[in-house]
Amino acid sequence: MVVLLVGVVFFVGGIVLLAFAGPAHAWWHSFLTVLKGSIPPILIICGLAAIAVGISSIRDRMAAGTQDEPKPTPPDAPKPGGS
């Protein structure tokens, strides 16, 4: 509950600062510069994470596929189930 309250306070505070910042919104240019500079690293990190998840998924599928195949039994070996 506290986290929700803090989130609402931060959200409202951000909206107030966006709407009623000082004369000519002097910080807006700096904000856009930071935003432009942070987008490429975020994309790179998210891309690496997606690649890692994709490789892990492929490995899991390959491992599951090898476990599902029954082992071949020799013709003279008794079959499971007693017959």
**pLDDT (average), residues 21-38:** 78
Q: Residue 67 pLDDT > 80, yes or no? A: no
* % of residues, the chain, pLDDT over 70: 73
Distance between CA atoms of residues 34 and 22, nearest Å? 19
79 vs 1, more confident: 1
Q: Is 53 exposed, middle or buried (0-12, 13-18, 19+ CB in 10 A)?
A: exposed
Contact between 28 and 21 under an 8 Å Cβ cutoff? The reply is yes
pLDDT tens per residue across span 36-65:
999 999 999 999 999 999 999 999 988 887
Show the tokens assigned to 76. 């003279």
Among candidate residues 35, 9, 31, 8, the one with its CA nearest the CA of residue 18: 31
Q: Residue 17 pLDDT > 70, yes or no? A: yes
CB atoms within 10 A of CB 5: 9
Q: Does the predicted TM-score (pTM) go above 0.85?
A: no
